[in-house]
Homo-oligomer: A and B are copies of this chain.
Amino acid sequence: MKTIPHMHDYFSELPEPVRQEIESRCRQRKVCKGDALYRQGDSPDEMYQLITGGVKLCNYSVDGREFVAAEFRPGDCVGEMGLIDGLPRVSHVVATTDSLVRVLRKADFDYLVETYPEFSRQVMLTLCRRLRWAYGLNAEASGLSLHQRLTLHLYRLAQSHGIRDEAGALYIGISQEELGRMLGASRQTVNKELKALMEEGCVDLRYGKIYLINLEAMCEQYEAILGAEQITAAYNHNR
């Protein structure tokens, strides 16, 4: 299975000397499951790189519902936006399991920006990547059906968080409820749509796991859904 390059890991794309300089300026910190690296509204003075474990970036609606915007894997960086503009955090970042993170303080971040143009460039590129990702989410949320969004999301989850069991079968370790929180839908609706995907022979449902038994078909659907938008673009272009 081809995996997406860690879209949030930009330290690793830097030349070795810069990486070492970064590492020497970081401290490490242990966080327990449920602990927050930061909360919405906090004043930012650090950014983080996940070493082991997992964290999620989430928001809460007025009535307490949780929306998971992203889950991060080891290597991913998070929290640099606040260091750049100094404004309060817009989301919560919470550990989903006991984790170890590298912590880079604002003063060191600023030093790196000033000293290494490559670092600045990586930061800009990362901001662009996140911006494109956020735009994509917006477009999907307003323009696609839940069924399509679920398909897209499962396919991406498979690439970023897919796990192989002993038999080599690919699955995602996630409950239907959690999936619902990512898509902004209820557990029941997610269940219904998953059942539909099962009818199509794409997935197999287990306790706390979703097996992707036909990734090729899902890849095709993925391309079809995203490709359709391009075609529409061309259509609108020519009219």
Residues of A within 8 A of B (CB): 36, 39-41, 59-65, 67, 69, 81, 84-85, 87, 90-92, 120, 123-125, 127-132, 134-139, 141-144, 184, 225, 228-230, 232-237
Contact = CB atoms under 8 A, between A and B. Distances in A.
A229 B138 CA distance: 20
B143 A142 contact: no
Contact of A81 (B128, B139, B141, B234): B128
Nearest to A82: B128
A139 B57 CA distance: 12
Contact of A137 (B65, B127, B138, B236): B138
A41 B138 contact: no
Top-10 shortest CB links A-B:
A61-B143, A142-B184, A134-B134, A40-B233, A127-B127, A62-B228, A85-B128, A60-B232, A59-B139, A39-B237
A64 B134 CA distance: 21
B230 A90 contact: no
B125 A59 contact: no
A143 B81 contact: no
22 contacts: A39-B233, A40-B229, A40-B230, A59-B143, A60-B233, A60-B236, A61-B143, A62-B143, A62-B144, A62-B228, A64-B232, A64-B235, A67-B139, A67-B142, A67-B143, A85-B132, A124-B127, A127-B128, A131-B131, A141-B141, A141-B142, A142-B184
Contacts of A132: 81, 85, 87, 90
A12 B59 CA distance: 33
A84 B123 CA distance: 11
A128 B236 CA distance: 30
A154 to B, nearest CB: 18
